[in-house]
Amino acid sequence: MSLRKLSPALRISLIYIILGCLWIIITDHILLQYIDDIESMRIAQSVKGWFYVTATALLLFFLVRNSIKKHDRSRAEYMEKLKDALDKAEESNRLKTAFLNNLSHEIRTPMNAVVGFSDLLRDEVKDKKSKEYISSIQKSSYRLLDIINDIISIATIESDQERFLEDKLRLWPFLEGIADDFSVKASEKGLGFKYASDPGQNSEIVFADKEKLGYVISHLLNNAIKFTDSGSVEFRCTLKGDVLHFAVSDTGKGVPENLRKVIFERFRKGEYMSNSELNEGMGLGLPIAKAYIELMGGWIEVSSSPGKGSVFSFTVPCKSVPDEPEDKKAGPVTVRGNTILIAEDEHSNYTLVETILEPYGFELIHARNGEEALEAVRKRPEINLVLMDIKMPVMNGLDATRLIKAERPALPVIAVTAYALKGDEENILGAGCDGYLAKPVRKATLLETIGRYVKAV
């Protein structure tokens, strides 16, 4: 067997043994030739032994030192490569997040005009066929936005960037609003719809993540209606202590037992749906809902009888407090004489807002960037409301808002922006904006928001 096939440690040990044997044999032979008396031989053997020990120690010292140096170099190289890999991963994650943010913004910006002008056209056209066309445009627009939102949500979940944001929430009005929306959708499909909540609990305020809770409920209800051809859908909620218990049941096709875990895995919808059902969605909704529920500290499960329907049950821990009087929402202002500054670089989006507001008697001023908006506020003291886009050339909306608030702190600034991802609203409000509207903005929402702030001036 070749020495090269042995490990370095074994090779060194064999060489050490061979050299030791040769040293003993050769030195003994030499000493026997030149030394006759026993005492001199004893001294010579002692010197010989100490010489070998010293030589061995020196050799071992240099071997260990070189090994440590080599290990340190390897460790330093490994740490450098690890640091480079970590830096690249962080940079890749940052670029991915920036790309998704930009993707969302660039899609929402033109979509604002598509949805907004569709709203206006629907109010103007009279024939049924045209209204159907417009409805199809709007449904397709919101479906595209849902796809983009799901892609961004699953990306933030995978990169561990998703965070639990605790909101003060009027629970029962919030749930009733969702139930009312889906009651209409169920009715349009010819399905019954029932909403049931805990009796006697209608004065509760809870602290929960409103956005994530709304997503989960809406997705489960949407699925229940989509996969139910006849019968009904039921939505129930009870508050037991500090835990919300939800259930969404339907009389649809049901989920086979062997697929009840699969449905919570990403991109797996094709394994249990027909070709017609594959036309919508990407198989991300339930995985996102499950991730959100677990992030909020709850759990989700499904029980189903194929051909008879399904029940999706989930819980969400929350803190509840007694209700407080709620200020009534102001309606849209119709009094003439209000001057609104619209800071918007996209001409189509400005035209949309202008078209919505002109019939209400507002005087409108257009600024194409933050610098123009700041200059307009300085020159036109009669401005009593600002609608501020965020992504604009020259000066962005956040910087413009900070400067405007420094000079006119009482002037309301409402952000109307395509930045609509997790945390965007908090960042924008933190910069000084008084209100936040995510594009695409519906006409009724815009008028209601404007009415609330202009009346306060």
Q: Do domains 167-322 and 339-454 have the same CATH topology?
A: no
User: Nearest 5°: CA angle at 194, between 189 and 199?
Assistant: 165
Q: Measured between alpha carbons, how far is 315 from 165 in angstroms, rounded to an integer?
A: 17
Q: Is the pTM of this model over 0.75?
A: no
Nearest Cα neighbor of 210 from 168, 178, 151 is 168
Q: Measured between alpha carbons, how far is 364 from 341 in angstroms, rounded to an integer?
A: 6
Q: Measured between alpha carbons, how far is 230 from 126 in angstroms, rounded to an integer?
A: 31
What are the structural domain ranges in the chain? 3-86, 103-158, 167-322, 339-454
CATH number of 339-454: 3.40.50.2300
Q: Render pLDDT for 403-432 as a digit per residue (tens, 0 to 9).
A: 999 999 999 999 999 887 777 888 899 989
Residues 6+ apart with CB under 8 A from 46: none
Residue 327 confidence (pLDDT) above 60: no
Residue 137 is predicted with a pLDDT of: 87
Bigger pLDDT: 223 vs 332: 223
Q: Render pLDDT for 170-186 as a digit per residue (tens, 0 to 9).
A: 888 889 999 999 999 99
Q: Evaluate whether 179 touches 219 at the Cβ level (below 8 Å).
A: no
Q: Render pLDDT for 124-134 as a digit per residue (tens, 0 to 9).
A: 888 888 888 88
Residue 434 confidence (pLDDT) above 90: yes
Q: Render pLDDT for 36-93 as a digit per residue (tens, 0 to 9).
A: 777 777 777 777 777 777 877 777 777 778 878 887 888 888 888 888 888 888 787 7
Which architecture, in CATH terms, is 167-322? 2-Layer Sandwich (3.30)
Residue 5 is predicted with a pLDDT of: 65
